[in-house]
Amino acid sequence: MASTDADDCKHYIGSVQDVRQRCRTTAEVGGRKVTVFALKTSFYALDDKCYHAGGPLELGDIEEINNDLCIVCPWHKYIIKLSSGEGVYQGIDPATKKTEWKTKGVKQRVHEVVVENGHVYVRLNLAGKLDCDRYYTEEYRKLMNED
Protein backbone atom coordinates (compact mmCIF):
# COMPACT_ATOMS: atom_id res chain seq x y z
CA MET A 1 0.00 0.00 0.00
CA ALA A 2 1.30 3.45 -0.85
CA SER A 3 1.81 5.34 2.37
CA THR A 4 1.05 8.70 0.79
CA ASP A 5 -2.54 7.83 -0.06
CA ALA A 6 -5.30 9.55 1.85
CA ASP A 7 -8.03 7.38 3.31
CA ASP A 8 -11.31 9.13 4.05
CA CYS A 9 -13.11 5.90 4.99
CA LYS A 10 -14.17 5.15 8.51
CA HIS A 11 -13.48 1.50 9.34
CA TYR A 12 -15.76 -0.10 11.90
CA ILE A 13 -14.05 -1.49 15.02
CA GLY A 14 -16.96 -2.25 17.36
CA SER A 15 -19.39 -0.81 19.85
CA VAL A 16 -17.94 1.53 22.48
CA GLN A 17 -18.99 -0.96 25.15
CA ASP A 18 -17.22 -3.89 23.49
CA VAL A 19 -14.05 -1.93 22.66
CA ARG A 20 -13.84 -0.59 26.22
CA GLN A 21 -14.43 -4.05 27.67
CA ARG A 22 -11.65 -5.62 25.56
CA CYS A 23 -9.24 -2.69 26.26
CA ARG A 24 -7.32 -3.70 23.11
CA THR A 25 -8.90 -4.52 19.78
CA THR A 26 -6.73 -5.52 16.84
CA ALA A 27 -8.27 -5.47 13.39
CA GLU A 28 -7.29 -5.53 9.74
CA VAL A 29 -8.02 -1.98 8.60
CA GLY A 30 -7.49 -1.07 4.97
CA GLY A 31 -4.69 -3.63 4.60
CA ARG A 32 -2.96 -2.67 7.87
CA LYS A 33 -3.01 -4.42 11.22
CA VAL A 34 -4.20 -1.72 13.63
CA THR A 35 -4.72 -1.93 17.39
CA VAL A 36 -7.23 0.29 19.19
CA PHE A 37 -6.51 0.84 22.87
CA ALA A 38 -9.30 1.94 25.21
CA LEU A 39 -7.58 3.51 28.21
CA LYS A 40 -9.10 5.71 30.88
CA THR A 41 -11.58 7.85 28.92
CA SER A 42 -9.68 7.88 25.61
CA PHE A 43 -9.16 5.72 22.56
CA TYR A 44 -5.87 5.42 20.66
CA ALA A 45 -5.22 3.63 17.38
CA LEU A 46 -1.86 2.76 15.92
CA ASP A 47 -0.23 0.31 13.55
CA ASP A 48 0.27 -2.88 15.46
CA LYS A 49 3.67 -3.83 14.04
CA CYS A 50 6.39 -2.01 15.96
CA TYR A 51 8.60 0.25 13.85
CA HIS A 52 11.77 -1.38 15.18
CA ALA A 53 11.37 -4.97 14.03
CA GLY A 54 7.65 -5.61 13.63
CA GLY A 55 6.84 -6.72 17.20
CA PRO A 56 3.16 -7.07 18.17
CA LEU A 57 2.28 -3.90 20.08
CA GLU A 58 -1.11 -5.35 21.02
CA LEU A 59 0.80 -7.49 23.56
CA GLY A 60 2.83 -4.63 25.08
CA ASP A 61 2.55 -3.16 28.56
CA ILE A 62 1.13 0.32 29.05
CA GLU A 63 3.20 2.84 31.01
CA GLU A 64 2.54 6.47 31.85
CA ILE A 65 5.61 8.62 31.18
CA ASN A 66 5.49 12.39 31.79
CA ASN A 67 1.67 12.26 31.68
CA ASP A 68 1.68 10.45 28.32
CA LEU A 69 0.36 6.93 27.96
CA CYS A 70 2.90 4.78 26.15
CA ILE A 71 3.08 1.23 24.83
CA VAL A 72 6.18 -0.81 25.61
CA CYS A 73 6.91 -3.22 22.76
CA PRO A 74 7.08 -6.80 24.08
CA TRP A 75 10.05 -7.73 21.88
CA HIS A 76 12.83 -5.22 22.68
CA LYS A 77 11.04 -2.80 25.05
CA TYR A 78 11.03 0.23 22.78
CA ILE A 79 8.59 2.81 24.13
CA ILE A 80 6.05 4.60 21.93
CA LYS A 81 3.63 7.38 22.86
CA LEU A 82 0.09 6.26 22.09
CA SER A 83 -1.10 9.77 21.23
CA SER A 84 1.62 10.71 18.75
CA GLY A 85 3.58 7.59 17.76
CA GLU A 86 6.82 9.17 18.99
CA GLY A 87 9.55 6.81 20.05
CA VAL A 88 10.88 7.90 23.44
CA TYR A 89 13.89 6.90 25.50
CA GLN A 90 15.58 7.90 28.71
CA GLY A 91 18.82 9.77 28.10
CA ILE A 92 21.32 11.57 30.30
CA ASP A 93 21.80 15.31 30.04
CA PRO A 94 25.62 15.65 29.96
CA ALA A 95 25.46 19.07 31.61
CA THR A 96 23.37 18.11 34.61
CA LYS A 97 24.03 14.33 34.63
CA LYS A 98 20.31 13.88 35.19
CA THR A 99 18.19 11.43 33.24
CA GLU A 100 15.42 12.82 31.12
CA TRP A 101 12.94 11.50 28.59
CA LYS A 102 13.88 12.31 25.01
CA THR A 103 12.12 11.78 21.70
CA LYS A 104 13.32 9.95 18.61
CA GLY A 105 10.55 11.66 16.63
CA VAL A 106 7.41 10.08 15.24
CA LYS A 107 8.16 6.47 14.36
CA GLN A 108 4.84 4.67 14.63
CA ARG A 109 1.78 5.53 12.58
CA VAL A 110 -1.19 6.61 14.71
CA HIS A 111 -4.69 6.76 13.29
CA GLU A 112 -7.78 8.82 14.03
CA VAL A 113 -10.41 7.22 16.26
CA VAL A 114 -13.97 8.37 15.57
CA VAL A 115 -16.73 7.67 18.09
CA GLU A 116 -20.27 8.07 16.75
CA ASN A 117 -23.58 6.91 18.15
CA GLY A 118 -21.99 4.44 20.52
CA HIS A 119 -19.66 2.91 17.94
CA VAL A 120 -15.90 3.14 17.36
CA TYR A 121 -14.33 3.63 13.94
CA VAL A 122 -10.79 4.18 12.70
CA ARG A 123 -9.87 6.56 9.91
CA LEU A 124 -6.39 5.73 8.62
CA ASN A 125 -3.71 8.37 8.67
CA LEU A 126 -1.47 7.61 5.71
CA ALA A 127 0.34 10.94 5.45
CA GLY A 128 4.06 10.91 4.84
CA LYS A 129 6.36 7.95 5.32
CA LEU A 130 7.17 6.41 8.69
CA ASP A 131 9.48 3.62 9.83
CA CYS A 132 6.59 1.23 10.56
CA ASP A 133 5.39 1.40 6.92
CA ARG A 134 7.97 -1.18 5.87
CA TYR A 135 5.78 -3.90 7.44
CA TYR A 136 2.87 -3.07 5.16
CA THR A 137 4.60 -3.44 1.82
CA GLU A 138 4.03 -6.19 -0.73
CA GLU A 139 7.68 -7.23 -0.38
CA TYR A 140 7.31 -7.73 3.37
CA ARG A 141 4.04 -9.64 3.02
CA LYS A 142 5.64 -11.98 0.49
CA LEU A 143 8.72 -12.42 2.67
CA MET A 144 6.56 -13.34 5.66
CA ASN A 145 4.06 -15.41 3.62
CA GLU A 146 1.23 -13.18 4.86
CA ASP A 147 -0.83 -13.42 1.66
Binding site for ligand FES (CB under 6 A): 50, 52-55, 73, 75-76, 78
Nearer to ligand FES among residue 75 and residue 140 (C-beta): 75
For the bound state, the minimum distance from the C-beta of residue 139 to ligand FES, rounded and expressed in Å, comes to 18
Angle at 145 between CA 141 and CA 86, to 5 degrees: 40
Using the minimum distance from each CB to ligand FES, give the nearer residue, 121 or 136. 136
CA separation for the pair 4, 25 (Å, rounded): 25
Cα three-residue angle 136-129-66, rounded to 5 degrees:
100
Least separation in angstroms between CB 60 and ligand FES: 8
How far apart (Å, rounded) are the C-alpha atoms in residues 37 and 46? Answer: 9
Q: Which is nearer to ligand FES, 19 or 82 (CB)?
A: 82
The whole-angstrom separation of Cα 24 and Cα 73 is 14
* Closest CB 83 distance from ligand FES, rounded Å: 18
